[in-house]
């Protein structure tokens, strides 16, 4: 579960009920390669500038594609006249909504990549051109005449929910409420999760705190803008090069939107310059394909940073109410939360994930959460690292922190007392299997950071967080080469070093050294369908497929050795990279190495390979606990992060460097979200800070070193015990930092980001209130 929340992109999949695999404790006790820290296979190309990212591809005769975007946040598109642009010398194609036929399977995606009846946000694509140069393409955009009828707009989630708000879509009738509304609104759906009786629970509480919170929309902030090159052949055979987290998904959606067979479109995933969920869908790819089809030449489109901010998929902003009751001795008796998320102009705000994960850290008898998915005149949201969870957990962990102070209990002790553990019924339904929240809390409490003295104007915050993790459809190949080396093909783009982990797992299973194995991300024509790199699934799912493919190859190599020795295949075992005769034949023959078996494969039956394809289940949740020291300047309201420690359960760290990297990166993104990053809209409904100068992501001088503690509670659903680690790291920081700042400033911070003006105002308001 917990894949891309983009409902339109994500067909409902049949869930498998039991884990695909089981933890192999015996194997784990004797790891030789797993847990080591070798250099990654793509590292050399990346430090020398040779690695090819989305915008680095050139196809012969390629044209430049540019997109015309709506300057209005909400407007009817009465007409589009592109005749002058088409007549301009050097223009080879112009496309508009008329070049795409309606598509029931991907209606919202289609509407988002090229506006239809209305432009729904500033930056919504309305037309595109392909021309021989950027200068000509720019000129052509200016010649396209769009006649707009401007409509009132709404960008705030609470305003969008009010009965008199401008309504974006005539066909959105709120789901999940009774009776079914008779009129359309901006509320796509209400969902509810939980169990027990919260009123009875609150009646048992000695202390109850109820607060409202708001968080701003943030952007994933990957440094590489979206880019692609599309080439539709004269016979319709098409190729697409693009930076994406999921090229199989891109192929499926693009083929559908263009009305072509999937087999006619071959998608190659370039190296990807960051994604964090934001590259799990399509924006420019179908446009480039449609332009190429019309022009008969390859077309490259690369977004500018301004376009990335205005027209790719940021995350939701939120408005939330949380109420928690606790006894004097620290037992949480009830938890209740309402989470209203806007996800831009189309359905799919991750409100349900927010509501499901809000109380996931706690084993509660009485818990209830409500989620509202709301549309506004903002760009269609996309997934962002643990989509929906950081905000709701910020609200819950803030109230938990305040309750701990109220009853005079250490905040880690309060969490330990109520922590979810194996067998606990989760706040979103299922029972937890083996999981490591308690272990992260204990490790955090024991960490020297937690007891270090604080200076003036400093405050320490802690918070825990959770992510579901995901398995999903996976297909990997492994080839034993004639020289004894091994090549792995996976279908999951490598964003953070996963190829290194794949090589480690194959080396471990085959009993050969890491440098004999190479992993590549294969294109869509080379493998069966692979789900996207999302849900922290790659090291878990593709890794397990690599392990199984290795085991298959081992079985085959044993068979070949048996053939060479003329003994039964069952009488051969595989040990440390060698086939050895066993049982009655033990010691009869010299062991045969993988390289020796590979060298003679042509004489024993041909090439040796392994493959594995499955729908992985049993991903195993990951919990984390963060500690942060903040310092607040009472004069300016500026917050500095003085010290930061991440403690998280990785199940088993295959390549610890990249596990630490995920922890540190998640924390840094969370720090930005907590302190500075926000989509700022003017009254005109236009984004006011669509650039890195004004959308202030953390830079090196903003941050301290980020300490990490890898906790390893093996995932029972993976042979090596792996849990996904990519997303959990961004869940606790918002709350941990807010708790630290609240302690330092002496006032509870209920709105993010905690930018200097907001912190200063909170301090001043508290002073006024105290007087």
Partner 1 sequence: MSGIHVSTKINGDAVEYVCDVEETLLDVLRDKLGMTGSKEGCASGDCGACSVTVDGRLTCSCLMLGAEAQGREIGTIEGVAKGTELHPVQQKILDNAALQCGVCTPGFVVAAKALLEKNPDPTETEIRYWLAGNLCRCTGYDKIIRAVMDAAAEMRGN
Residue numbers at the binding site for partner 1 (CB under 8 A): 37, 39-40, 42-44, 46-53, 55-56, 58, 135, 220-225, 271-276, 302, 304-305, 495-497, 655, 657-658, 660-661, 664-665, 667-669, 691-693, 697-703, 705-706
Work out how close the CB of 415 gets to partner 1 at its nearest, in angstroms, rounded to a whole number: 24
Smallest gap from Cβ 305 to partner 1, in A, equals 4
Residues whose CB is less than 8 angstroms from the CB of residue 377 and which lie 6 or more positions away in sequence, other chains included? 73, 74, 120, 121, 122, 153, 154, 155, 166, 168, 345, 685
The nearer residue to partner 1, 29 or 700, going by C-beta atoms, is: 700
Q: How far is the CB of 632 from partner 1 (least distance, A)?
A: 20
- Reduced to 3 states (helix: H, G, I; strand: E, B; else coil), residue 76 is strand
CB hemisphere CA count around 383 (13 angstroms): 29
Tell me the closest approach of the beta carbon of residue 693 to partner 1, in angstroms.
Answer: 5
Closer Cβ to partner 1, 655 or 686, answer by number: 655
Place of tokens 């399509």: 282
Smaller CB separation from partner 1, 194 or 698: 698
Q: Environment class of residue 652 by beta-carbon count within 10 Å: exposed (0-12), middle (13-18) or buried (19+)?
A: buried
CA-based R_g, the chain, Å: 27
| Minimum separation from the CB atom of position 388 to partner 1 (A) | 20
Query: Any idea what DSSP says for residue 278?
Result: T
295/606 Cα distance (integer angstroms): 45
Query: With respect to partner 1, which residue has the nearer C-beta, 189 or 386?
Result: 386
- What is the nearest approach in angstroms of partner 1 to the Cβ of residue 273? 3
Of 716, 630, 201, 618, the C-alpha closest to 418 is 201
- Closer by beta carbon to partner 1, 112 or else 669: 669
Nearer to partner 1, 389 or 667 (CB): 667
Nearer to partner 1, 283 or 658 (CB): 658
Closest by CA to 534, choosing from 111, 735, 247, is 247
Rounded Cα distance, 193 and 338, in Å: 11
Which region, left, alpha or beta, applies to residue 566 given φ > 0 means left and ψ of -120 to 50 means alpha? left
Q: In the bound complex, what is the minimum distance in angstroms from residue 140's beta carbon to partner 1? A: 15
Q: Kindly tell me which of 13 and 138 has the beta carbon lying closer to partner 1.
A: 138
- 3-state secondary structure string across 144-208: CEEEEEECCCCCCHHHHHCCCCCCCCCCCCCECCCCCCCCCCCEEEEEEEEECCHHHHHHHCCEE
The least distance separating partner 1 from the CB of residue 135, rounded to whole angstroms, comes to 7
Tokens of 559: 């068979």
Nearest CB to partner 1, comparing residues 29 and 705 = 705
C-alpha to C-alpha distances, 433 to 410, 467, 615, nearest whole angstrom: 27, 14, 19
Query: Where are the alpha helices (H) located in 383-527, listed in sequence order?
Result: 389-407, 411-418, 437-446, 448-451, 498-510
Taking the complex as a whole, how short is the minimal distance between the CB of residue 706 and partner 1, in angstroms? 5
**Phi, psi angle pair for 585, to nearest 5°:** -95, 0
Give the residue with the Cβ less far from partner 1, 221 or 651.
Answer: 221
The one-character DSSP state at 541 is I
- Residue 271 C-beta: closest distance to partner 1, Å: 7
């Amino acid at each position: 579960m917990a894949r891309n929340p983009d409902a339109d992109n994500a067909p409902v999949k049949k869930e498998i009920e039991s884990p695909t695999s089981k933890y192999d404790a015996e194997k784990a006790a004797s790891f030789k390669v797993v847990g080591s820290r070798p250099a990654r296979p793509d590292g050399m190309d990346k430090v020398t500038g040779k690695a090819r990212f989305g915008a680095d591809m050139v196809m012969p005769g390629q044209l430049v594609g540019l997109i015309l975007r709506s300057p209005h946040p909400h407007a009817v598109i009465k007409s589009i006249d592109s005749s002058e642009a088409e007549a301009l010398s050097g223009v080879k194609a112009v496309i508009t909504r008329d070049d795409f036929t309606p598509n029931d399977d991907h209606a919202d995606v289609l509407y988002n990549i090229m506006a239809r009846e209305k432009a729904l946000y500033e930056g919504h694509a309305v037309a595109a051109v392909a021309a021989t140069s950027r200068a000509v393409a720019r000129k052509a955009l200016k010649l396209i005449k769009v006649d707009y009828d401007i409509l009132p707009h709404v960008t705030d989630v609470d305003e969008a929910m009010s009965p008199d708000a401008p309504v974006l879509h005539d066909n959105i009738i709120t789901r999940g409420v009774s009776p079914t509304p008779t009129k359309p609104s901006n509320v796509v759906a209400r969902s509810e999760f939980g169990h027990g009786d919260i009123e009875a629970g609150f009646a048992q509480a000695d202390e109850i705190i109820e607060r409202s919170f708001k968080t701003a929309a943030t952007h994933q902030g990957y440094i590489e803008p979206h880019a692609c090159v599309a080439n539709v052949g004269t016979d319709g055979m098409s190729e697409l090069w693009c930076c994406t987290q999921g090229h199989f998904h891109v192929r499926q959606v693009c083929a559908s939107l263009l009305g072509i067979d999937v087999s006619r479109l071959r998608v190659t995933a370039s190296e990807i310059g960051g994604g964090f969920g934001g590259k799990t869908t399509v924006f420019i790819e179908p446009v480039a394909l449609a332009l190429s089809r019309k022009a008969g030449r390859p077309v490259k489109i690369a977004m500018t940073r301004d376009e990335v901010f205005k027209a790719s998929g940021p995350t939701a902003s939120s408005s939330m109410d949380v109420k928690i009751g606790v006894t004097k001795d620290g037992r949480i008796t009830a938890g209740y939360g309402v989470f209203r998320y806007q996800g831009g102009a189309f359905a799919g705000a991750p409100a349900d994930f927010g509501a499901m994960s809000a109380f996931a850290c706690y084993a509660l008898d009485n818990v209830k959460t409500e989620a509202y998915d709301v549309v506004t005149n903002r760009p269609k949201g996309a997934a962002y690292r643990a989509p929906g969870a950081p905000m709701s957990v910020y609200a819950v962990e803030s109230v938990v922190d305040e309750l701990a102070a109220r009853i005079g209990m250490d905040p880690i002790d309060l969490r330990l007392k109520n922590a979810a553990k194996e067998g606990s019924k989760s706040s979103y339904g299922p029972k937890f299997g083996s999981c490591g929240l308690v272990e992260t809390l204990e490790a955090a409490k024991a960490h020297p950071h937690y007891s270090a003295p604080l200076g003036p104007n400093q405050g320490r915050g802690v918070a825990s967080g959770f992510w579901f993790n995901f398995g999903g459809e996976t297909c990997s190949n492994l080839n034993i080469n004639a020289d004894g080396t091994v090549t792995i093909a996976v279908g999951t783009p490598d964003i953070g070093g996963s190829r290194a982990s794949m090589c480690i797992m194959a080396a471990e299973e085959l009993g050969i050294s890491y440098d004999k194995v190479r992993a590549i991300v294969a294109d869509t024509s080379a493998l069966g369908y692979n789900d996207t790199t999302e849900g922290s699934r790659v090291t878990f799912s593709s890794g397990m497929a690599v392990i199984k493919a290795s085991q298959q190859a081992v079985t085959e190599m044993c068979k070949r050795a048996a053939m060479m020795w003329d003994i039964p295949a069952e009488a051969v075992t595989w040990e440390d990279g060698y086939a050895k005769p066993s049982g009655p034949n033990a010691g009869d023959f010299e062991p045969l190495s993988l390289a020796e078996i590979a060298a003679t494969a042509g004489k024993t039956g041909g090439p040796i390979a392994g493959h594995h394809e499955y729908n992985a289940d049993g991903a195993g949740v990951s919990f984390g606990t963060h500690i942060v020291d903040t310092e607040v300047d009472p004069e300016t309201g500026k917050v500095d992060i003085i010290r930061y420690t991440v403690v998280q359960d990785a199940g088993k760290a295959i390549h610890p460097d990249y596990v630490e990297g995920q922890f540190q990166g998640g924390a840094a993104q969370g720090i930005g979200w907590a302190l500075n990053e926000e989509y700022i809209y003017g009254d005109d409904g236009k984004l006011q800070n669509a650039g890195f100068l004004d959308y202030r992501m953390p830079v090196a001088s903003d941050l301290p070193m980020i300490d990490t503690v890898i906790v390893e509670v093996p995932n029972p659903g993976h042979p090596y015990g792996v849990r996904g680690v990519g997303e959990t790291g961004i869940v606790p920081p918002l709350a941990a930092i807010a708790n630290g700042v609240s302690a330092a400033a002496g006032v509870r911070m209920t709105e993010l980001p905690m930018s200097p003006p907001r912190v200063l105002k909170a301090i001043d308001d508290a002073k006024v209130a105290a007087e």
